[in-house]
Structure 1
Amino acid sequence: MTLETRTATEIRAEGRKLVGYAATFGVETRILDFHETIAPGAFAASLRSNPDILALVDHDAGKVLARTRSGSLRLSEDAHGLKFEIALPETSLGRDILAMATRGDLGGMSFGFTVPEGGDEWRGDKRTLRNVVLHEISVVQSWPAYGGTSVQARSRQQRTDADRRIALLEMEALNVAV
């Protein structure tokens, strides 16, 4: 199986943690010459069976931010998608990522996965991911593959829904321009 990566959704800083969604369900995205959607529950089996999923920077195994085995990465599925919480390390990499998130300079989140036999469904040029083996999630510093990706930083104060919508629209406009 070939490792695939996808970029999606939102990330924000809360204290020394990054929180958000690495993938969202039911959102169609164009990947090369096909369209792809992630079905609810696509990560469930992997989250139950894989004891060590990594949080990386730009899918680089040399840039580990956290991992589920140590508890510094928490992953769960809810109705919206694959939710994450990364406790950033007190390292130069952790501080750099936190500073970039605070300034709003990150591109989004991504995830690396393989698809087991029968884990996807094709209908013409439309692919639905129903069951994937999750290997890692990544903070993406540049451009995300999925449109609508947003990266915001915030401290303990909460952003309003209007602020989040404006940030998403700004990111979508940047993705269209690229």
Structure 2
Amino acid sequence: MNTPERRSAVELRASQPGRLEGYAAVFGFPSHDLGGFREIVRSGAFSRSLKSSGHVRALYDHDGRSVLGRAGAGTLRLAEDTRGLHFEIDLPPTTVGKDLAVLVERGDVAGASFAFRVPAGGDEWRNTDSGIVRELLDVDLHEITITADPAYPDTTVAKRHMPILHRRLALALRFLETCR
């Protein structure tokens, strides 16, 4: 099968103007039913792929016309940590980028997803008491995407209002300087 599979992810945070960050996958948490099976991403599943991730793009809703960033350009940063596949996207000053920032802040867009292929031996299937489970051990990552309809139910979104914090800090510093 040559068509990349797409899976939704977990936490998304906007930490400053023009930047979104979060998790495109969280290790050990099952997806929704994906058509007769659930999926779990194992820690380390992206490590091989991340060594040559320059081609990986960040998209809005898996739409290749809505590019948000690319690893090779430095506008998308990807890393595996103990929680999952972490990403940071420097949003472009385009209509899509600006609209998405608003949608994330409002909570209308609440997740992330990823498109991938599984190389030979990159997954394990097992039958459990709760049904069939596919565990992803090694994937070829093609994209991450920001979406309102993630496949993994543990998705959360938070937007930090750093400009407000910076203004408050600046005011506090000015106040302290006047107290000298």
- Please confirm whether the aligned pair reaches a TM-score higher than 0.5, indicating the same fold: yes
**Equivalent residues in 2 for 1:1-178, closer than 5 Å:** 1-15=2-16, 16-29=18-31, 30-124=33-127, 125-140=132-147, 142-156=148-162
Q: How big is the shift at 1:152?
A: 2.5
* TM norm structure 2: 0.83
Distance in 2, Cα, partners of 1:57 & 1:150: 17
Q: How big is the shift at 1:102?
A: 1.4
Corresponding residue SS for 2:51: helix
- Confirm or deny: 8 A CA contact 2:12 2:110 kept in the other structure: no
Q: Quick one: which amino acid aligns to residue 11 of structure 1?
A: L
Q: How big is the shift at 1:32?
A: 1.7
Distance in 2, Cα, partners of 1:35 & 1:94: 32
Distance in 2, Cα, partners of 1:38 & 1:144: 14
- Confirm or deny: 8 A CA contact 1:55 1:136 kept in the other structure: yes
Corresponding residue SS for 1:31: coil
User: Taking every aligned residue pair, what percent have the same amino acid on both sides?
Assistant: 47
Distance in 1, Cα, partners of 2:144 & 2:111: 11
Corresponding residue SS for 1:128: strand
Q: Quick one: which amino acid aligns to residue 95 of structure 2?
A: S
Distance in 1, Cα, partners of 2:60 & 2:30: 24
Q: Quick one: which amino acid aligns to residue 13 of structure 1?
A: A
Q: How big is the shift at 1:17?
A: 0.5
Mind listing any 5+ residue stretches in structure 2 that lack a counterpart? 166-180
How many residue pairs match? The answer is: 157
Task: After superposition, give the CA deviation of every residue in 1:7-60 in whole Å (9 maximum; x if it has no partner).
Answer: 121111111200110100011223220121100000000000232100000001
* TM norm structure 1: 0.84
Distance in 1, Cα, partners of 2:159 & 2:107: 6
- Confirm or deny: 8 A CA contact 1:57 1:139 kept in the other structure: yes
The structure having more radius of gyration, on CA atoms, is 2
